[in-house]
Amino acid sequence: MNVCIYPTGAWGTAMGLHLNRIGHTVTLVPHTTEEALDMASARENRAFLPGFSLPADIQVGVELMPSLMEAELLILAAPSQFLRSVCVRVRGSLEKAWRLDAVLTLSKGLEETTYKLPADILGEELPQYAHGVLSGPTFASQVAEGQPSALVLGMEDAARAEVLQESLSGGGLRIYRTEDVKGVELGGCLKNVYAIAAGMCDGLGLRDNSKAALLTRALHEMVRLGRGSGGRAETFYGLSGFGDLFLTCNGRESRNRTFGEAVAKGKSADELLADGRTVEGYHTTRIFHSLCRERGIDAPILAEIHAVLFESKPVREAMDALMRRDQKVEYA
C-alpha cells in the first residue's frame, strides 16, 4: 500500500518505520516546512524520535497535497486536541487524492471543547472515507525498534478492517480488530487518567502492593465508565483497555505517569504543562469528571485525581480518602 502519515511526531514516525519494514510505500508529512526540511536532510526525526534513521525509501513530504496524490491510506497522528484542525487541513488537500480509500487515527483522547472521540471527528470532517482507530499498549520508540508489539484496529466496516489488519500486520507488530470503535477509543483515553494516578504512587514512594491495588480498581472503574459511555465491557479487558493501562501505569516512557510522579513530588500541573507538553490524561480527567457528574457514574479514583489536579488537594490526602471509603463487595 501507499501510505501517507501526517503529522509526524514520535508515534507517526514509528508507524512509518514499521510500515516501511513490511514493504509499504511510506510518505511522512511533518507539521511544518522547517521540520520537513530537517527530517529530509538529517534522515531522522530529531525533534520527536531521535536516534532512528529513516531508510532512503521513506519519503518526507514538504507539502500535504502532493503527498496525498498517490496515497491509498492516510494515518493521522495528531494529539486529540489538534485532530479536528488537522482534518480541516487535510480536507483542503484532498482534491487530487484519487486513490485514497481509508483514514485511520492514532489519537487517544477527547476533544476538549466538544467531548467527542477521534472517530467522531473523522466522521464529521472526512465523511466520504471509511475511518477507524489504531490503539493499544505501544511506546513509539519500541515500535520503531521492531520490538514485538500488538495493537487493535477499531473499525465498523468489518470487511475493510480485515483487509487493513492483514496489510498492517507483520514484522514486530500484530494487529487485532473489533467493531467496537467507541470502546477502543474510551480505553485509549481513560488509561491516561489512571497512569497519572500510578505516577502519583511512584512519586509518593509507594511500592508493589499499592500499584497492584490501584491498577485492579482502575480497570474496574474503566469498565464502569466505558460501559456508561457506550463501549462494550469486553473491549476494556483487551489491548486498548487492560493492555494500555498496564503499559502506561508502569512504563518509564509514559508521559502521563511521569506527569503524575512529578505532581506527587511537589510540582504544580501548570508548571509541568507550561512547556507545551502533551499530557492527554490531564484534559481527560477534567472532561470525564464532568461527564460522570452528568451521568451519575461513580468513579472515585478519577474524582480524587481531579481534586489533586484542579482543586489543589494534596496527593497524600487523595490517597487516604480512597483508603477510607465505605467497605463494599469487590465487584460493586
**Active site positions, annotated:** 191
Q: What is the dihedral of CA 282, 288, 294, 300, to 10 degrees?
A: -90
Q: Decide: 33 and 158 in contact? Cβ < 8 Å.
A: no
Q: Which are the contacts of 254, defined by CB distance < 8 A and separation ≥ 6? A: 139, 195, 199, 247, 248
Work out the number of other CB atoms within 10 angstroms of the CB of residue 204. Answer: 15
Q: Which are the contacts of 152, defined by CB distance < 8 A and separation ≥ 6? A: 134, 135, 136, 175, 176, 177, 178, 184, 238, 239, 240
Beta bridge partners of 74: 4, 103
Q: Which residue has the cell 511533518?
A: 30
Q: Decide: 172 and 147 in contact? Cβ < 8 Å.
A: yes
Give the separation between CA 248 and CA 324, rounded to whole angstroms.
26
- With vertex at residue 248, the alpha carbon angle to CA 290 and CA 18, rounded to the nearest 5 degrees, is 120
Structural element, H or E, at residue 36: helix 33-42
User: How remote is the C-alpha of 266 from its chain's centroid?
Assistant: 26
* C-alpha count within 13 angstroms, C-beta hemisphere, residue 149: 24
